[in-house]
Amino acid sequence: MLHPLSFVKKLSVFLLIYVSSNQAVAQVYNSSASVAAGGTGRAAVEPGDASFLNPASMAHLGGRFLFTSFADKEFAAFLSDNTKESTLPAAAAYVQKSKMTKTLGELNEHDIGITLAEFFKDKWSVGLTGHYLEQTLAQGSYHSVNGDLGLLYTPMSDMGLGLVVYNVFGENNNTAPEELRYKTKVGGGFNYIYKGMFRVRVDGDSEGYAGLGLETFINRFIVFRFGYSDDFDDSRPLVSAGMGFSGPRFRLNYAYFGNTQKSSDYRHSIDLIIPF
């Protein structure tokens, strides 16, 4: 039987070879919790991010959650079920975005995702999110199907290591303009909670992104988040901050990020999470 550490080593070598021939711009949606922490969260467990950052974290997200996220020209929703009655931890997600492209005008994107996850060995979980993406421009619409594959290793209850392959099928929408095609990329993350008071997150990916996040738990209801990230390929340094409230009936998370080199590049977002 293949040992998990041996499996990860072989998978990592394969991913480096595969990604080197399939690199292009690809986007991942971040919840407000991850945005405020520098876009990090591939090794953390948060409602919403289970479908968008690392599908393997869905195996750790116990219970049922309804997640909604609001930002300028962006909306996301997430519904998950990981209870004793469910056959597998699963979630359904939807993301809607509008943005200006470099050469093609305004782009509207609608992404529908289905996530399945499970523990395959003690402290190891694997997850898969299937995506159906619709991209609409003034001159027409384009559709594609792809998937994200994630691993999460939690050697201790306060530590996690994550590895994710986004768009595992590579560029499979040859009819779309080059600027709209999402290709394969790999992301990784580290998460550590210190005595239930602080959490450190570190993430990076194969496209030159690197992020660092810090969470400070004031009490069991309030958390403050701070982060910094940069995309070294595009030189986009971002500072971020936010806060969260976790009550018995609902949770609220707020996040802000701003580009230190471009004042017009900023974003506010707020999430509502309802456990049920």
Q: What is the pLDDT of residues 185-214, one digit of tens each?
A: 999 999 999 999 999 999 999 999 999 999
Above 60 in pLDDT, residue 15? no
Distance CA 38, CA 212 (A): 6
DSSP E strands in 101-221: the ranges are 106-121, 124-137, 140-156, 159-166, 185-194, 198-205, 209-217
Rounded to whole angstroms, how far apart are CA atoms 172 and 182? Answer: 8
pLDDT of amino acid 173? 63
Q: Do residues 51 and 91 lie in contact, with contact meaning Cβ atoms separated by under 8 Å? A: yes
pTM: 0.87
Domain chopping of the chain, boundaries: 4-174+183-275
CA atoms of 52 and 206, how far apart (whole Å): 17
Q: What are the phi and psi torsion angles at 47 (to 5°)?
A: -55, 140
Q: For position 254, what pLDDT does the model report?
A: 99
C-alpha distances in Å from residue 104, one per residue of 97, 124, 178, 231:
15, 43, 10, 23
Q: What is the mean pLDDT of the chain?
A: 90
When pLDDT is averaged across residues 244-265 and rounded to a whole number, the result is 97
Q: How confident is the model at residue 181 (pLDDT cuts 50, 70, 90)?
A: confident
Nearest residue to 58 via CA among 43, 45, 41, 40? 45
Reported confidence tier of residue 172, pLDDT bands at 50, 70, 90: low
Please report the pLDDT score of residue 19 as a whole number: 37
pLDDT tens digits for range 18-47: 333 333 344 578 999 999 999 999 999 999
**Which pair of structure tokens corresponds to residue 40?**
């990090």
What's domain 4-174+183-275's superfamily in CATH? Outer membrane protein transport protein (OMPP1/FadL/TodX) (2.40.160.60)
Q: Does the structure show a pLDDT above 90 at 16?
A: no
Q: Is 52 exposed, middle or buried (0-12, 13-18, 19+ CB in 10 A)?
A: buried
Query: What are the CA-CA distances from residue 190 to residues 3, 209, 255 (Å)?
Result: 21, 14, 21
Q: What is the DSSP string of 193-231?
A: EETTTEEEEEEEETTSEEEEEEEEESSSSEEEEEEEEEE
CA distance 270 to 97: 15
